[in-house]
Structure 1
Amino acid sequence: MSTDLRALTEMIIADHPVSEGDLRRAARGLGAETTSVLVDARARLDRLRARDRELSVLMSSLRELAEVRDLQPLLQKLVDRAHELMGTDLTYLSEYDEETDELFVRANRGALSANMRELRVPAGVGLASQVVRTRAPQWTAAYDVGSFPHDSEVTAAVRAEQMRSILGVPLIASERVLGVLFAADRSTHGFSTEQIALLTAFANQGAVILQTARLLAAEREAAARAEAASAEAERRAAAMEASASLHEQLTRLVLAGEGSDAIARVLADALGRPVAIADRELGALATSDEEAAAWWTAGRLSPGVLAAVEASRGTARWVDVGDGEVLGLVAAMAGRTLLGVLLVGGEPLDEVQRRTIERGAQSHALVTMQNDAVADAEERVRGELVADLVSERDDWASLRRRAQQRGVDLTGLWTPVLAVGWEQQRWNLTRALTGLDQRWLVAQHDAGVIALVPGELDPLDLAGRVHGRLAEAGDRGLVVVGGTHPVEQVPGEVVDVTALSRMLPGVGVADAGVAARDYAPYLALFGANGHRARAFARGLLAPLLEWDAAHRSDLVATLHAYLAQNASITRSADVLFVHANTVKQRLERITELLGPEWRRPEQQFRLGIAVQLLRMSETDM
């Protein structure tokens, strides 16, 4: 049978698959050696065509990959194209971290489980580390976990994916290992030289593209950071300019003599936030709106705000509050002296805005110090006037002229009020009394502070009112109010109230508001020596006091009732809520202790004074 050479030639160069059996049958009639040469030629042609197709797919894939700019999508496309190129069950890419010598799975195709997502491969573990270390392809036909240093998570991922045949090639660009590209099957087989070469070629080109994408990403990131930094710089410059402008405005307010209300209003308008200013005692001094005014409840700030005030006092810097509506505050300080607090609400502030608030607090401190200086000067002038009024160191015509220069009319009636024994400093007492009524003439006097109050007033009512106001701060002391007289008689009244203020603490009256008229007899008897009055009462009533202390009786109270009821036993019993016979028995005991002379009118007069002195005292003598 002759061979059809034309048909045989077409079969050898055909572009479709031809089996070796078909080819040998077509070459029947030719020698065995010739037939073998033809079969080898067809096989080489098939391999060349396959290589051409692979290269074509490779180039097409690389052109597609070169168009991807974002890093993570690029990693996934690298894996997808390698998966199509190799035709394996599973393909994945691990990115290499030079600092930690670790690999991280960034993308995969064909995975069955979630173990492969972001899998971390520690340094020196598995086939991947061998690829990095050797910088060359590594493969195995039957992967055995025990053949490599292993990690529990990596082992779990390999077993979950049932990987057996694994080929890994490095991604190298500019002499740096960027990662490892893997192709794996779930069956056991070897990898041909062509497969290894193909994946290596793909990885080499992919590494260049990956490095380029990384550089572009780094450049974009740097550009974004530079743009953000530029925008931040512009924002800060604008904020600094606005802050400087606001500082100039605050300075003008201070120089113009504006008060804290103007400071709070300007800051609130500039910052778009509620602002309030507290005074030295942390009471509301100025508020920008109703929201800021509501930060005080019953006249007091919350405990959280008070704690922040204490924290800011040491630095005069911004302190976050985080309590209710108050965002933060700054204490306005002059040295170690608290002059007030600037409080801010609303959204958080940046650093420039916080420094602006601190400048606002400084402006408030300057305004307060300026007002204090004016007030101090006024107080000194008025204090000198008051000192001359109460001491008559100048003639009355001159005193009236000086008073008129200060806008004070000395005509009418005046009442002296003396505050002594208070723990707060005298200048605080001076401010407190001046704050009750601007018409009062207030100055430091003797051991306390005296106020000359115009108008016809009830001394006892005035004493209670002043004492109550001064005691609101939790302090305790004595307020003595003299009689109401024309100004020319005030010096004599001041002498009496001063003497009485020295005498009353000696008999135990140290925290009260009293009228001098109620204690005039004792002042006449004992002068300013309260201790002598106390010793007089104690010495005269000592037998009764000792008996009462030892027997829990009421002889002193009975004596007081008996003398107050004009020696009436019946009325005394009614006042004491006891039987008349009980009063008689107690009077007999008093006679035993004091002697029968106590019933004499002169002795009863002295006993009556002693009992009254005793009852004036807040503590037992």
Structure 2
Amino acid sequence: MSDPSEGRAAASPAGSLVERLRSVHLKMVDAVLGGDGLQQVAALAAEAAGAPVAIVVPRLDAAVAAGADGPVLEAVRRYVADRVRDRPSQVPEALAAEAPIQSGDDVVGAVVMLHGEPGAPEPLPEAGDFLHLAAVACLTEVAVEEAKEEVEQNLRGSFLEDLRSRPDLEPREVVRRAARLGCDLARGAVVLCAELTTDRPRHVIATITGDEPGALAEHLDGRVYAILPGTGGDDAPEGTTARGRALATRLRRHGTVGVSSFYSDPAELPRAIQEAELVLDVLKQGEGGGWDGVQDIGTGTYRLLFRVLASHPEEVRSFYEDTVAPIVRYDDQYRTDLVGTLEAYLEQNCNMNATASAIYAHRHTVAYRLERVKELTGLDPMLSEDRERLGLGLKAYRIIAPRLPK
């Protein structure tokens, strides 16, 4: 008959391991919920396993290690990033074991045990169990961060949606709500509006906030909106406008981007959003082949018209009707090109021969079309004052064309 004490002795190591696993797991979860993050989880896993440990979660842009140097961590980061994206990956020489961080069927990262320095003690036999515990704790960290991101995203989306739809927002409320989201609007702002050709709006938003840490960016109704807060002193308008245009240039590989002018008053941010949307609409029409002068959209006269259109659209529409609207409608009805001829005439400094050459027409054809412009509009392209009104009318037409009835 066997001695019961033998059974207790045999069970003791297993019971001790279970208790240790439970203790380490609780510490890891406490670290995550207490805000210490993945670095503390890696430290606990390394201590429990008796070997260096690295944790990489590309979704959180996180790569941390306990007991490993920078080059080793960088190699592990590349390896895990490739694995997560299901790309061919080269296993780092330092890798000894790994446990995937898995959410459902999706692998979002990995906890990796690394070889120690030559002569270092061997990892504990149960080291793999601690890697898996760390993976579970990391999944909790992913859930916590995604919950935070969802809350912030909802707040950003609600704020930007209110700016788009509620022009009556009080300036102090605008500044206060933006500040809660880490955006300081005290010095004004520039707004970007982008319509993407990529299906990765999160990547575009990450690019914006990476370039402009204080910016607010969100994907709404198929477009990405971004508010770039003003920085600096007296040069805030010029500097912020320049930054906005530089960022728009960078983003254009992902789609079409409209940029507003600088608005110093937070109460006018709804108009800034409208202006950015207007610029985007005009750029889209120009890119579709409707207008060769789209590259001039950022010039002073156009920018002024966009601001007026955002605040007093009826004034721009009225000016259009009083100038070039008759020849636009005439072209639409009879398939003529009075608008194109007038634009070419103004661009060629009112030189008949140069205009004829530019539009591949006879000089007499140009003269006839300009006479029709005079008859239809009551404005003579040969007279300086009338030319100025016609030129401004053409600019007004270009910026309201996307919203005219078809």
Task: Calculate the TM-score normalised by the size of structure 2.
Answer: 0.61
Specify the code of the residue in structure 1 equivalent to 2:195.
V
2:24 is aligned to 246
Match of 2:111 among 338, 342, 350: 342
1:372 is aligned to 146
Specify the code of the residue in structure 1 equivalent to 2:262.
T
Encode CA deviations 1:234-263: one digit per residue, 9 max, x unaligned.
Answer: 877665554333212211112212212222
1:411 is aligned to 186
2:33 is aligned to 255
Q: Distance in 2 between matches of 1:383 and 1:517?
A: 31
How far 1:439 moved relative to its partner?
A: 3.0
Match of 1:489 among 268, 279, 282: 268
Please state if 1:275 is matched with 2:46: no
Specify the code of the residue in structure 2 equivalent to 1:379.
Q
Please state if 1:359 is matched with 2:128: no
1:463 is aligned to 245
How far 1:509 moved relative to its partner?
A: 7.2
SS at structure 1 position matched to 2:64: strand
- Partners of 2:81 and 2:109 within 8 A in 1: no
Encode CA deviations 1:270-328: one digit per residue, 9 max, x unaligned.
Answer: 3343333334358553233553544437x9715xx5554456x9xxxxxx974433345
1:479 is aligned to 257
1:385 is aligned to 159
Q: Distance in 2 between matches of 1:295 and 1:408?
A: 33
Distance change >3 Å, CA 240–CA 369, structure 1 → 2: same
- Partners of 2:29 and 2:140 within 8 A in 1: no
1:264 is aligned to 42
Distance change >3 Å, CA 378–CA 325, structure 1 → 2: same
Please state if 1:301 is matched with 2:75: no
- Partners of 1:277 and 1:342 within 8 A in 2: yes
Specify the code of the residue in structure 2 equivalent to 1:566.
N
- Partners of 1:463 and 1:515 within 8 A in 2: no
Match of 1:566 among 344, 349, 355: 349
Q: Distance in 2 between matches of 1:517 and 1:402?
A: 32
1:452 is aligned to 227
Structure-to-structure mapping, 1:386-401, within 5 angstroms: 386-390=160-164, 391-399=166-174
SS at structure 1 position matched to 2:279: helix
Gaps of 5+ in 1: 1-230, 314-319, 545-555, 570-580, 614-621
* RMSD over equivalenced CA pairs, Å: 5.1
Specify the code of the residue in structure 2 equivalent to 1:358.
H
Specify the code of the residue in structure 2 equivalent to 1:258.
D
Encode CA deviations 1:362-381: one digit per residue, 9 max, x unaligned.
Answer: 21221122122223223323
Distance change >3 Å, CA 432–CA 372, structure 1 → 2: farther
Encode CA deviations 1:141-167: one digit per residue, 9 max, x unaligned.
Answer: xxxxxxxxxxxxxxxxxxxxxxxxxxx
- Partners of 2:43 and 2:66 within 8 A in 1: yes
Aligned residues: 331
Percentage of pairs with the same residue: 18
Distance change >3 Å, CA 411–CA 293, structure 1 → 2: same
- Partners of 1:240 and 1:352 within 8 A in 2: no
Q: Distance in 1 between matches of 2:243 and 2:22?
A: 54
- Partners of 2:169 and 2:267 within 8 A in 1: no
Task: Calculate the TM-score normalised by the size of structure 1.
Answer: 0.42
1:65 is aligned to none
Q: Distance in 2 between matches of 1:265 and 1:463?
A: 44
SS at structure 2 position matched to 1:494: helix
Q: Distance in 2 between matches of 1:584 and 1:403?
A: 51
Encode CA deviations 1:556-614: one digit per residue, 9 max, x unaligned.
Answer: 9xx97x86453679xxxxxxxxxxx9x899569532796543567759978x979xx9x
How far 1:480 moved relative to its partner?
A: 2.2
Specify the code of the residue in structure 1 equivalent to 2:149.
A
Q: Distance in 1 between matches of 2:202 and 2:62?
A: 21
